[in-house]
Each structure stands twice: as C-alpha cells, then as structure tokens.
Amino acid sequence: MSSVQSRNRQPAGLREGGQFATGAKTEADVTLTADGPFRFDRDYKNVEQVRPYMDAFLARYDELAQAGQYPYNDSFRGHIPGIEGPDEDTAIYLLQRLRDRDRLDAQREEFIAAGGFEVTVTDLAPGQVLRGTVVHCGYFMGGTGWQQFESARLRAQNGSLTVIEKGKRNGQWLHGKVLIRED
C-alpha cells in the first residue's frame, strides 16, 4: 500500500455510506465494550483502552499456563472476541502490558497493606535516614519493575532518593515510586 493510499484509507470497520459496523457516524462514537470492535487510539500509553477485553485475555492466559505453554502474543490471536482485525496485534500487546501493570499495582497495594508507605524526596529532611524494607517499583514502556531491598537505609541526597543495602557503603539512586516499610 502506498503512502497516499494509507493516508486516504477509510477507518477500519467503516461501511459504505459513512457508517461504522456498529452504526456510529464517526470513529470517536464507537464505544469500546467487550462485544464491540477494538479500534486502537494510537496511544500506546493508554492501556486502559483494552480493559473490556481483559477477562477473555486472562482466560486464554490461564489456558496457556495450564497447558505449560509460554504466552506469546501469537498464542492469543483469534481467541479474544472483539479485537479481531487490523489492530489485533496492538490490542494483544496492550493487554499484556495491562496485565503486568495490574499485577504491579496489586503487589504495591499488598506492600502498603502490610505497613508500607510511599516516600518522595520532599518527605525526608536533609540527613534524615529511614531504615526498613525499601521497594523501588515502576511501570515502564518495556514492562514493570519491582526491586526490594531488605534491611536497607533510605535517604535524600542531591534532590534524589538513595537506598543503601545492608552491608554496603555506597547507595543506588532511585527514580520513580519508592515505598518503605520501617522495621
């Protein structure tokens, strides 16, 4: 397809006469439901756009896990109703990311429920040190991260937070969300 053809292409799902398969007049009118068509909004950071398809995705994910198979994106093609079409691969990618983010959020909530709390550099006075279990977590474009430091020291230094592991003299700079559960 030439670049001119791709620019002049009608949005996916558009029927002759200017209506979408759902009966909507514009692409913005298409409502994302588990039964409706998925249309990628061109924002890879907006993983919530695939939330209506999450139950079907998790059911397929569990099937793959029970069969001992790795959940490659190809393993989901044709198994999630509503995402078929030109944006299916994107929807599967976003569903994988949404699953990772939901798991990280649950892990963070569990840590907070066990007595942890979020700390920012403005919460600590110069020279103040907190001791306990320090967690550095975040949601990044390439996935999620959870680093946990047991019996560590946390301090503010030069406008950033630094964690010093037990038995170490030098710290690591932490950027993103930092949680601590004091011992």
Q: Are strands 117-119 and 172-174 parallel, antiparallel or unpaired?
A: unpaired
* Least-confidence region, from 15-19, 102-106, 159-163: 15-19
- Global pTM reads 0.71
Label the pairing between strands 129-140 and 143-157. antiparallel
d(CA 105, CA 145): 11
pLDDT band with cut points at 50, 70 and 90 for residue 103: very high
